[in-house]
Amino acid sequence: KTLPFTKEIAAWDVKGLDIVRLQTADGEPVIDLTEVESGIFEGHRNGEGIYILQNLVAARSLAKSMDQMIGDWTMVRGNGRQICALTLTNTEAGTDNFQAFLKPRCDPLVAGFGPTMWRLEHGAMLLIAPNGTTWRFEADDNAQWRRMPDSADPLIMLRQ
Protein backbone atom coordinates (compact mmCIF):
# COMPACT_ATOMS: atom_id res chain seq x y z
CA LYS A 1 0.00 0.00 0.00
CA THR A 2 2.85 2.38 0.82
CA LEU A 3 4.49 1.94 -2.60
CA PRO A 4 1.66 1.27 -5.08
CA PHE A 5 3.96 1.17 -8.11
CA THR A 6 5.64 -1.98 -6.74
CA LYS A 7 2.56 -4.02 -7.73
CA GLU A 8 3.78 -3.69 -11.33
CA ILE A 9 7.19 -5.22 -10.60
CA ALA A 10 7.53 -8.80 -11.84
CA ALA A 11 11.26 -9.05 -12.58
CA TRP A 12 14.59 -7.29 -12.35
CA ASP A 13 17.60 -6.95 -14.62
CA VAL A 14 21.08 -5.45 -14.45
CA LYS A 15 21.90 -2.73 -16.99
CA GLY A 16 25.52 -1.72 -17.43
CA LEU A 17 27.78 -1.84 -14.40
CA ASP A 18 25.69 -0.12 -11.77
CA ILE A 19 21.99 0.00 -12.72
CA VAL A 20 19.30 -2.36 -11.45
CA ARG A 21 16.07 -2.15 -13.43
CA LEU A 22 12.82 -3.27 -11.78
CA GLN A 23 10.40 -4.11 -14.57
CA THR A 24 6.98 -5.41 -15.51
CA ALA A 25 6.37 -8.97 -16.74
CA ASP A 26 6.70 -7.75 -20.35
CA GLY A 27 10.04 -6.01 -19.69
CA GLU A 28 8.83 -2.43 -19.35
CA PRO A 29 10.86 -0.44 -16.78
CA VAL A 30 9.11 0.49 -13.54
CA ILE A 31 12.17 2.14 -11.98
CA ASP A 32 15.92 2.20 -12.68
CA LEU A 33 18.10 2.23 -9.57
CA THR A 34 21.69 3.43 -9.85
CA GLU A 35 24.35 2.42 -7.33
CA VAL A 36 25.38 5.63 -5.55
CA GLU A 37 27.41 3.94 -2.79
CA SER A 38 28.46 0.37 -2.26
CA GLY A 39 25.20 -1.55 -1.82
CA ILE A 40 22.98 1.54 -1.93
CA PHE A 41 20.85 2.15 -5.02
CA GLU A 42 18.84 5.26 -5.81
CA GLY A 43 16.05 5.73 -8.34
CA HIS A 44 13.72 8.55 -9.36
CA ARG A 45 10.08 8.37 -10.40
CA ASN A 46 8.58 11.48 -11.96
CA GLY A 47 6.07 13.15 -9.68
CA GLU A 48 6.97 10.87 -6.77
CA GLY A 49 10.56 11.60 -5.84
CA ILE A 50 13.62 9.53 -5.08
CA TYR A 51 13.58 5.94 -3.83
CA ILE A 52 16.50 4.20 -2.14
CA LEU A 53 17.10 0.46 -2.17
CA GLN A 54 19.54 -0.96 0.38
CA ASN A 55 20.25 -4.32 1.92
CA LEU A 56 18.53 -4.40 5.35
CA VAL A 57 21.59 -5.88 7.06
CA ALA A 58 23.76 -3.04 5.69
CA ALA A 59 21.20 -0.42 6.76
CA ARG A 60 21.08 -1.83 10.30
CA SER A 61 24.87 -2.01 10.40
CA LEU A 62 25.15 1.67 9.40
CA ALA A 63 22.61 2.68 12.06
CA LYS A 64 24.55 0.73 14.68
CA SER A 65 27.81 2.36 13.54
CA MET A 66 26.22 5.81 13.72
CA ASP A 67 24.99 5.16 17.25
CA GLN A 68 28.54 4.23 18.28
CA MET A 69 29.89 7.51 16.88
CA ILE A 70 27.52 9.87 18.71
CA GLY A 71 29.04 11.51 21.77
CA ASP A 72 32.23 13.16 23.01
CA TRP A 73 35.59 12.60 21.34
CA THR A 74 39.17 13.76 21.92
CA MET A 75 41.69 14.53 19.18
CA VAL A 76 45.25 13.64 20.08
CA ARG A 77 48.58 13.66 18.31
CA GLY A 78 50.63 10.49 17.91
CA ASN A 79 52.47 11.28 21.17
CA GLY A 80 49.14 11.23 23.06
CA ARG A 81 48.97 15.03 23.54
CA GLN A 82 45.33 16.17 23.48
CA ILE A 83 44.75 19.02 21.02
CA CYS A 84 40.96 19.26 20.90
CA ALA A 85 37.66 17.85 22.13
CA LEU A 86 34.48 17.67 20.10
CA THR A 87 30.97 16.28 20.19
CA LEU A 88 29.35 14.35 17.36
CA THR A 89 25.54 14.51 17.44
CA ASN A 90 22.68 12.78 15.65
CA THR A 91 21.08 16.14 14.79
CA GLU A 92 20.66 16.37 11.02
CA ALA A 93 22.65 19.06 9.23
CA GLY A 94 21.72 18.64 5.58
CA THR A 95 21.80 15.58 3.35
CA ASP A 96 23.48 12.65 5.13
CA ASN A 97 25.32 15.00 7.54
CA PHE A 98 25.01 15.50 11.28
CA GLN A 99 26.08 18.36 13.54
CA ALA A 100 29.53 18.41 15.13
CA PHE A 101 30.68 20.88 17.80
CA LEU A 102 34.22 21.79 18.81
CA LYS A 103 34.78 22.41 22.50
CA PRO A 104 36.74 25.50 23.66
CA ARG A 105 40.54 25.68 23.58
CA CYS A 106 41.22 23.60 20.47
CA ASP A 107 44.62 23.66 18.81
CA PRO A 108 44.77 26.26 15.97
CA LEU A 109 45.05 23.43 13.42
CA VAL A 110 41.62 22.07 14.37
CA ALA A 111 40.05 25.45 15.27
CA GLY A 112 41.13 26.83 11.87
CA PHE A 113 39.52 23.86 10.13
CA GLY A 114 36.37 24.41 12.25
CA PRO A 115 34.22 21.36 11.42
CA THR A 116 30.49 21.75 11.99
CA MET A 117 29.25 18.49 10.41
CA TRP A 118 30.15 14.82 10.21
CA ARG A 119 29.01 11.64 8.45
CA LEU A 120 29.99 8.04 7.84
CA GLU A 121 30.87 7.18 4.26
CA HIS A 122 32.29 3.91 2.92
CA GLY A 123 33.52 2.89 6.37
CA ALA A 124 35.24 6.23 7.02
CA MET A 125 34.18 9.11 9.24
CA LEU A 126 34.25 12.54 7.61
CA LEU A 127 34.48 15.83 9.48
CA ILE A 128 33.23 18.70 7.33
CA ALA A 129 33.88 22.43 7.64
CA PRO A 130 31.31 25.04 6.54
CA ASN A 131 33.44 25.82 3.44
CA GLY A 132 33.19 22.16 2.36
CA THR A 133 36.72 21.14 3.37
CA THR A 134 36.72 17.55 4.63
CA TRP A 135 39.00 15.57 6.92
CA ARG A 136 38.77 11.79 6.51
CA PHE A 137 39.30 9.42 9.45
CA GLU A 138 39.53 5.63 9.26
CA ALA A 139 39.18 3.17 12.11
CA ASP A 140 42.31 1.27 13.10
CA ASP A 141 42.81 -1.94 15.07
CA ASN A 142 42.92 -0.07 18.40
CA ALA A 143 39.31 1.22 18.35
CA GLN A 144 40.45 4.70 17.40
CA TRP A 145 40.12 6.80 14.24
CA ARG A 146 43.19 8.11 12.38
CA ARG A 147 43.18 11.01 9.94
CA MET A 148 44.03 9.94 6.41
CA PRO A 149 46.37 10.12 4.74
CA ASP A 150 48.39 9.02 7.76
CA SER A 151 51.51 10.97 8.69
CA ALA A 152 54.59 10.82 10.93
CA ASP A 153 52.66 12.94 13.47
CA PRO A 154 49.17 11.41 13.18
CA LEU A 155 45.91 12.99 14.26
CA ILE A 156 43.83 10.44 16.15
CA MET A 157 40.25 10.59 17.46
CA LEU A 158 39.52 8.72 20.69
CA ARG A 159 36.19 8.15 22.39
CA GLN A 160 36.00 10.01 25.73
Residues 48, 75 share a domain: no
Sequence letter at residue 128: I
Report the candidate in 158, 138, 139, 89 with the shortest Cα–Cα distance to residue 117: 89
Residues 81, 37 share a domain: no
Residues 34, 88 share a domain: no
Query: What pLDDT does residue 141 have?
Result: 67
Residues 75, 46 share a domain: no
What's the domain count of the chain? 2
Q: Which residue has the higher pLDDT, 50 or 32?
A: 32
Give the rounded percent of residues in the chain with a pLDDT score beyond 70: 91
Q: Please compute the mean of the pLDDT values over residues 121-132 and round it to a whole number.
A: 90
Query: What pLDDT does residue 105 have?
Result: 94
Q: Let me know: does 72 contact 85? Beta carbons within 8 Å.
A: yes
End-to-end Cα distance, the chain: 45
Write down which residue in 14, 39, 54 finishes a domain.
54
Residues 67, 46 share a domain: no
Residues 14, 80 share a domain: no
Residues 90, 43 share a domain: no
Q: Which of 4-8, 34-38, 68-72 has the lowest mean pLDDT?
A: 34-38
Q: Which helix (H) or strand (E) holds 17?
A: none
Residues 71, 47 share a domain: no
Residues 133, 87 share a domain: yes
**Sign of the alpha-carbon dihedral angle for 100, 106, 107, 113:** positive
Report the candidate in 65, 58, 73, 66 with the shortest Cα–Cα distance to residue 144: 73
Mean pLDDT for the chain overall: 87
Here the CATH number for the domain that contains residue 75 is 2.40.128.10
Query: What pLDDT does residue 144 have?
Result: 85
The whole domain housing 88 covers: 61-159
Structure confidence by residue, pLDDT tens digits, 130-140: 999 999 998 87
The beta-strand segments (E) located in the chain are 11-15, 19-23, 29-37, 40-45, 49-54, 71-77, 82-92, 98-102, 117-121, 124-128, 134-139, 145-148, 155-159
**How far is CA 40 from each of CA 23, 33, 75, 93, rounded to the nearest angstrom?**
19, 9, 31, 21
Structure confidence by residue, pLDDT tens digits, 46-92: 888 888 887 665 665 555 577 788 999 999 998 889 999 999 999 99
Residues 80, 40 share a domain: no
